[in-house]
Amino acid sequence: MVETTMAPSRIAVQVTVNGKSYAAEVEPRLLLVHFLRENLGLTGTHVGCDTSQCGACVVYLNGQTVKSCTLLAVQADGGDIMTIEGLAKDGKFDPVQEGFWEMHGLQCGYCTPGMIMSSHALLQKNPNPTEAEIRHGLEGNLCRCTGYQNIVRAVQYAAGQIGPDGKVAPAPAPGPVQQFTADGTPPEDPETVQEWGDELAGRSDDNV
């Protein structure tokens, strides 16, 4: 006689999502994205493909980005999750969210939550990425509307590389420059310091 073992119909899961603790009993096959959307009501995470291709479902799990459409809820048991709803703090947009707003890095908006989460993770690892690094970092996220250019600009905005007007942000002002005499020592006379600085800047008495 062959004995068969029935899989449990429900499994207890406990997770922390956006700083709040949740406990539930779920079916073993329930995907994490459906748990977030249907059990917890966090519908900011989108279901785009169910095949791990589009990246619309990206969330953080224990500090790492994951595609929640190919991860079971039971695999996240005991985990710390952050979704798009948890990115803003105290009613203020995260810089990446602000970048997508200012640079209009969206069109239909369906891919936007995953794009923002992946962009946020990219800047955590590389705060000042090049355009090529931004495009490479977002290869796992598909957008069918924008052509990606404004998405790249949104990440550049969040990184402080361009301003709200879309232009390259000015370089920070240089700090004070220590002046030296010809023999390499700082001059002691304040008037000499001023005269030496004027000469370096091309402001001698002959040019007045």
68 vs 60: CA distance, rounded Å: 9
| Cα–Cα distance list, 72 to 11, 52, 58, 75 (Å) | 12, 13, 14, 5
Alpha-carbon gap, residue 137 to 139, rounded angstroms: 6
What pLDDT, on the 0 to 100 scale, is given for residue 65? 97
Tell me, yes or no, whether 195 lies in a domain: no
Residue at a domain's end among 26, 59, 86: 86
- Count Cβ atoms below 10 Å from residue 107 Cβ, excluding itself: 15
Does residue 18 sit within a domain? Answer: yes
Helix (H, G, I), strand (E, B) or coil at 38: helix
> Which structural domain, as residue segments, surrounds residue 134?
88-173
CB 188 within 8 A of CB 170: no
**Do residue 70 and residue 122 come from a single domain?**
no
Q: What is the mean pLDDT of residues 121-140?
A: 96
Is 201 part of any domain?
Answer: no
Tell me what pLDDT residue 200 has.
Answer: 40
pTM comes to 0.76
Q: Please tell me whether residues 151 and 110 are part of one structural domain.
A: yes
SS (H, E, C) 83-147: CHHHCCECCECCHHHHHHHHCCCCCCCCCHHHHHHHHHHHHHHCCCCCHHHHHHHCCCCCCCCCC
Q: Residue 197 pLDDT more than 70? A: no
Domain end: 86, 111, 136, which one? 86
Q: Give me the pLDDT at residue 182, please.
A: 52
Question: Is 57 in the same domain as 110?
Answer: no
Question: Considering the domain boundaries, does residue 106 fall inside one?
Answer: yes
> Do residue 101 and residue 53 come from a single domain?
no
Among 86, 118, 135, the domain boundary falls at 86
Specify whether the CB–CB gap between 58 and 66 falls below 8 A: yes
What is the domain-level CATH number for residue 94? 1.10.150.120
pLDDT category at 61 given cuts 50, 70, 90 is very high
Same domain, 111 and 74: no
Closest CA to 12 of 45, 33, 34, 35: 35
Tell me, yes or no, whether 23 lies in a domain: yes
Indicate if 95 and 167 belong to the same structural domain: yes
* Residues 21 and 81 both lie in one domain: yes
Q: What is the pLDDT of residues 138-183, one digit of tens each?
A: 999 999 898 899 999 999 999 999 877 767 665 555 555 444 445 5
pLDDT score, position 2: 59
Same domain, 115 and 169: yes
Please tell me the distance from the alpha carbon of residue 77 to that of residue 52, in angstroms, as a whole number: 20
Mean pLDDT of 115-121: 98
We report the CATH number of the domain holding residue 46 as 3.10.20.30
**% of the chain with per-residue pLDDT over 70:** 76
Answer yes or no: do 76 and 145 share one domain.
Answer: no
Using CB atoms within 10 Å of the CB of residue 112, give its burial: 0 to 12 exposed, 13 to 18 middle, 19+ buried.
buried
User: Which residue has tokens 């519908």?
Assistant: 43
pLDDT of 52 higher than 70: yes
**Overall number of domains in the chain:** 2
> Residues 45, 84: contact at Cβ < 8 Å?
yes
Integer CA distances (angstroms), 135 to 119, 138, 155, in order: 10, 5, 10
Q: Are residues 159 and 110 in the same domain?
A: yes
